[in-house]
């Protein structure tokens, strides 16, 4: 009876190990991409809310400083319309220094 010797396996990775590593890396990359996308959306929402809060603070401070609060007209105290849809909200960011609560 003759015995055959098996050769030692070379030091590499099996196909299953490589596919598992690719799967793990793919899930990690997709998760990171989704996280970045949602973080960008949250930043935009926070910016809009901050702009709205600063506008409200500016209006409250202006209203508080008038001599007769019953005749306060917000449109007469601003250089541009307050509710300008599709406009540039950066005009209101310049005025936030007047609000002592911001």
pLDDT of amino acid 34: 94
Domain boundaries, the chain: 53-102
Please, are residues 57 and 101 in contact by the beta-carbon 8 Å criterion? yes
pLDDT of amino acid 78: 64
Tell if the pTM clears 0.85, that is, is over it. no
Q: How far is CA 97 from CA 13, 51, 85, 101, in A?
A: 62, 13, 23, 9
Model confidence pLDDT, tens digit, residues 4-44: 777 766 778 899 999 999 999 999 999 999 999 999 989 98
pLDDT of amino acid 68: 81
In terms of Cα–Cα distance, which of 60, 41, 58 is closest to 93? 58
pLDDT of amino acid 98: 46
**pLDDT over threshold 50, residue 3:** yes
Please give the full DSSP string across 55-66, using - where no structure is assigned. Answer: HHHHHHHHHHTS
3-class SS at 17? Answer: helix
Q: In the structure encoding, which two tokens stand for residue 80, read together?
A: 């541009």
More confident residue, 84 or 16: 16
Please, are residues 47 and 40 in contact by the beta-carbon 8 Å criterion? no
What average pLDDT score do residues 40-69 get? Answer: 86
């Amino acid at each position: 009876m003759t015995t055959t010797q098996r050769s030692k396996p070379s030091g590499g990775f099996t196909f299953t190990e490589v596919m598992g590593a690719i799967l793990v890396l793919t899930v990690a990359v997709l998760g990171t991409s989704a996280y970045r996308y949602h973080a960008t959306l949250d930043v935009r929402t926070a910016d809009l809310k901050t702009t709205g809060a600063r506008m409200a603070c500016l209006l409250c401070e202006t209203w508080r400083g008038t001599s007769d609060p019953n005749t306060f007209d917000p449109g007469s105290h601003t250089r541009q319309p307050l509710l300008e849809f599709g406009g540039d909200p950066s005009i209101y960011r310049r005025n936030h220094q007047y609000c002592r609560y911001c």
